């Protein structure tokens, strides 16, 4: 049986933390930032943990 390939689009969007949680970044922080409020841009900073239900599917895409 052949090996399963890693989904490259998912691998670029998600990372695995040392404790095994799936980490993501928030959306809407790439362009057209002048029309967005400071609050919206500030809340889009940093990394966030993916919900457990989605994390299971993402792990299947990433870990191969």
List per-residue pLDDT tens for the chain, 64 residues long. Answer: 888 899 999 999 999 999 999 999 999 999 999 999 999 999 999 999 999 999 999 999 998 7
DSSP-derived secondary structure for 1-64: -PPPPP-HHHHHH-EE-TTS-EEEE-SS-SS--TTS-HHHHHHT-SEEEPPHHHHHHHHHHH--
Structural domains for the chain: 8-62 (4.10.410.60)
Rounded Cα distance, 58 and 30, in Å: 23
């Amino acid at each position: 049986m052949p090996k399963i390939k890693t989904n490259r689009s998912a691998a670029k969007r998600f990372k695995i933390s040392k404790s095994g949680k799936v980490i993501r970044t928030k959306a809407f922080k790439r362009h057209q930032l002048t029309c967005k409020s400071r609050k919206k841009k500030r809340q889009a900073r940093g990394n966030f943990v993916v919900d457990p239900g989605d994390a299971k599917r993402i792990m299947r895409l990433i870990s191969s």
